[in-house]
């Protein structure tokens, strides 16, 4: 059922390999043309443009763009106890996982009297996007908020699409997760329009907006935007990058599984399907040196697909150009294919899985062995599920405290230490024909600063 790409007789470079591998027909670059006018409109017209876009794309015109505190409080009170317990467990696991990422300040003595200090300074204000089109993602509230809080960010604002069936507010479970984490600035805005609001801010339109505004501004711009979303959200993040920082392009979900004949085809099929249910644009790719495993996975997928709740969108995902089976001659070639594909999630189901996993260079996150499926990372593993997609894992990383921290170097030299540098510094300044640089040091050494 999955399309097969047979690379067993090929010997391709990483670039040639990347061109042969499955990718979605609608990619971030092509979605840019759709999101750019939306972003310009929000920049020009603020809240009025946010409402127009919501009406057109989310099927509701939100009365309250800034979610009232009372709605957050009621959502916490109405939360199913089992879901509350699970969210609290996810929060605890993620706090532990993210605390371990915090880098410490480091002082290095470069020379006698000359030190540099590496500081890690959190950005002041962050905008967290939580998807809410085809599915509801309270787990993405946890992933975004915990990482920002552990990094020490002062001001945290969150946006999620308005839901027609919830009076134009974000889904109550999203609001409840915000309440559990102490996030109070929440907006009913989705897609590219939400990203534009976070990047550039938005002025009020209605009396309700005026009441929720401070200093004539409904939402102040942020310094960094993080969070996952569909291809339009990923494209909007690419479009605003440069005016604001972003974590990574965390677009439509992908799973690649590197498996040999020892893999359990039921586990492989279940995991491929688990990510296909996110979005018709989601990608599920099996990389294997075993045609027999590929056949067994196909059969298991067909059976599971017929019984699954979101079979229509999962079938579109599995049948799209972004999904397939890649046949390789051995695991060595499989590792090269996995690196060229640079999956958001890569599962390893091979003999000696931990050793194979250590040889992977490009993946948003690596899930090692048969008992570490992607859905564990989606919810409770303690890792972050906001991960780079579309091959960007070649250079980008999953969400971590680092998305919100700036490494700043502090340079502190004594007069003697500066004096010891003056000769070589003058030589370099002369070589660059920038004599005023040498003079800045000379002025001090002659006591004329
Ligand atoms: N990579 C990751 O880390 C990660 C994590 C979780 C989820 N995801 C992905 O997030 C996505 C969630 O998607 P979703 O749709 O459920 O919610 P979403 O909130 O990302 O997208 C909904 C918004 O998309 C906009 N939109 C929809 N169709 C549009 C169009 N034709 N033109 C312009 N804008 C349009 C609307 O404004 C709407 O508010 C899925 O693709 C899922 O796979 C990725
Ligand atoms: N698999 C998604 C990351 O791409 C995250 C998620 C949230 N909820 C379920 N899954
Ligand atoms: Zn998932």
User: Hey, what are 239's tokens?
Assistant: 């479009």
Clarify whether 77 is annotated catalytic.
no
Mean pLDDT across the chain, nearest whole number? 97
User: Are 443 and 418 within 8 A, CB to CB?
Assistant: no
Ligand 2: residue whose CA is nearest its atom 9? 378
Residues 6+ apart with CB under 8 A from 193: 38, 39, 41, 42, 49, 50, 53, 54, 57
Q: How many angstroms is it from 233 CA to the middle of ligand 1?
A: 6
Q: For 225-236, b where at least 16 C-beta lie within 10 A, e where not — what string?
A: bbbbbbbbbbbb
Task: Provide the pLDDT for residue 446.
Answer: 85
Q: Please pick, among 171, 345, 349, 385, the residue that the annotation labels catalytic.
A: 345
pLDDT reading at 449 higher than 80: no
57 lines ligand 1 (CB under 6 A): yes
Ligand 2: residue whose CA is nearest its atom 3? 385
Residues 6+ apart with CB under 8 A from 340: 14, 15, 17, 18, 21, 362
Of ligand 1's listed atoms, the one at least distance from the Cα of 253 is 43
Ligand 1: residue whose CA is nearest its atom 38? 191
Ligand number, closest to the Cα atom of 250: 1
Ligand 1: residue whose CA is nearest its atom 3? 386
What's the average model confidence in pLDDT over 151-161? 98
Task: Provide the pLDDT for residue 116.
Answer: 98
CA distances to 285, 287, 289, 336 from 5, rounded to whole Å, are: 10, 10, 12, 15
Residues with CB in 5 Å of ion ligand 3: 378
Q: Please pick, among 205, 277, 344, 347, the residue that the annotation labels catalytic.
A: 344
Q: How many angstroms is it from 374 CA to the middle of ligand 3?
A: 7
CB atoms within 10 A of CB 264: 15
Clarify whether 344 is annotated catalytic.
yes
Integer Cα distance of 423 and 419 in angstroms: 8
Task: Provide the pLDDT for residue 1.
Answer: 78
378 lines ligand 1 (CB under 6 A): no
Of ligand 1's listed atoms, the one at least distance from the Cα of 278 is 43
What's the average model confidence in pLDDT over 56-71? 98
Task: Provide the pLDDT for residue 276.
Answer: 98
Main-chain phi, psi angles of 249, to 5 degrees: -85, 100
345 is in an annotated binding site: yes
pTM for the whole thing?
Answer: 0.97
22 lines ligand 1 (CB under 6 A): no
pLDDT reading at 17 higher than 60: yes
Task: Provide the pLDDT for residue 448.
Answer: 52
Residues 6+ apart with CB under 8 A from 295: none
344 lines ligand 1 (CB under 6 A): yes
Main-chain phi, psi angles of 106, to 5 degrees: -135, 130
Q: How many angstroms is it from 279 CA to the middle of ligand 3?
A: 10
378 is in an annotated binding site: yes
- Which domains, ranges and CATH numbers included, belong to the chain? 4-24+252-399 (3.40.50.1980), 28-246 (3.40.50.1980)
What would the pLDDT profile of 394-442 be if each residue is shown by its tens digit? 999 999 999 999 999 999 999 999 999 999 999 999 999 999 999 999 9
Beta-bridge partners for 119: 408
Ligand 2: lining residues by beta carbon, under 6 Å: 137, 139-140, 253, 275, 344, 378, 385, 387
DSSP 222: -
By percentage, how much of the chain surpasses pLDDT 90?
99
What would the pLDDT profile of 176-228 be if each residue is shown by its tens digit? 999 999 999 999 999 999 999 999 999 999 999 999 999 999 999 999 999 99
| Mutation choice for ligand 1 from 142, 162, 232, 277, CB with most ligand atoms inside 8 A | 232
Main-chain phi, psi angles of 219, to 5 degrees: -135, 125
What's the average model confidence in pLDDT over 297-302? 98
162 lines ligand 1 (CB under 6 A): no
Q: Where are the alpha helices (DSSP H) in 5-80?
A: 14-20, 28-45, 47-57, 69-77
What would the pLDDT profile of 88-143 be if each residue is shown by its tens digit? 999 999 999 999 999 999 999 999 999 999 999 999 999 999 999 999 999 999 99
By percentage, how much of the chain surpasses pLDDT 70?
99
281 is in an annotated binding site: no
Q: How many angstroms is it from 378 CA to the middle of ligand 2?
A: 5
Q: How many angstroms is it from 131 CA to the middle of ligand 1?
A: 6
pLDDT reading at 265 higher than 90: yes
34 lines ligand 1 (CB under 6 A): yes
């Amino acid at each position: 059922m999955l399309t097969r790409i047979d690379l067993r007789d090929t010997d391709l470079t990483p670039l040639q390999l990347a061109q042969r591998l499955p990718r979605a027909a609608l990619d971030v670059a092509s979605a840019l043309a759709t999101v750019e006018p939306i972003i310009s409109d929000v920049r020009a017209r603020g809240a009025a443009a946010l409402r127009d876009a919501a009406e057109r794309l989310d099927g509701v015109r939100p009365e309250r763009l800034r979610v009232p505190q009372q709605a957050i409080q009621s959502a916490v009170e109405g939360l199913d106890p089992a879901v509350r317990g699970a969210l609290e467990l996810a929060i605890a696991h993620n706090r532990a996982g993210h605390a371990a990422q915090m880098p410490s300040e480091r002082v290095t003595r470069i020379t006698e009297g000359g030190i540099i200090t590496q500081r890690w300074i959190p950005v002041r204000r962050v905008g967290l996007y939580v998807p809410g089109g085809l599915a509801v993602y309270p787990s993405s509230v946890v992933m975004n908020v915990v990482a920002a809080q552990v990094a020490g960010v002062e001001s945290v604002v969150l946006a999620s699409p308005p839901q027609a069936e919830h009076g134009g507010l974000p889904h109550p479970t999203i609001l409840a997760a915000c309440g559990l984490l102490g996030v109070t600035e929440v907006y009913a805005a989705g897609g590219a329009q939400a990203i534009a609001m976070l990047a550039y801010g938005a002025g009020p339109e209605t009396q309700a907006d005026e009441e929720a505004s401070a200093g004539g501004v409904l939402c102040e711009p942020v310094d960094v935007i993080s969070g996952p979303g569909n291809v339009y959200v990923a494209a909007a993040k690419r479009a605003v990058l440069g005016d604001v920082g972003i974590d990574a392009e965390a677009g439509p979900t992908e799973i690649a599984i590197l498996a040999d004949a020892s893999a359990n085809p039921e586990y492989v099929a279940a995991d491929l399907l688990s990510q296909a249910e996110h979005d018709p644009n989601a990608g599920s790719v099996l990389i294997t040196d075993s045609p027999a495993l590929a056949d067994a996975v196909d059969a298991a997928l067909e059976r599971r697909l017929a019984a699954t709740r979101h079979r229509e969108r999962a079938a579109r995902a599995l049948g799209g150009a972004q999904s397939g089976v890649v046949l390789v001659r051995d695991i060595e070639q499989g590792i090269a294919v996995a690196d060229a594909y640079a999956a958001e999630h890569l599962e390893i189901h091979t003999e000696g899985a931990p050793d194979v996993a250590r040889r992977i260079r490009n993946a948003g996150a690596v899930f090692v062995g048969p008992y570490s499926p992607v859905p564990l990372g989606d919810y409770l593993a303690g890792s972050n599920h906001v991960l780079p997609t579309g091959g960007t894992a070649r250079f980008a990383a999953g969400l971590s405290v680092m998305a919100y921290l700036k490494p700043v170097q502090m340079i502190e030299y004594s007069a003697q230490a500066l004096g010891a540098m003056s000769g070589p510094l003058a030589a370099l300044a002369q070589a660059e024909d920038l004599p005023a640089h040498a003079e800045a040091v000379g002025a001090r050494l002659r006591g004329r600063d």
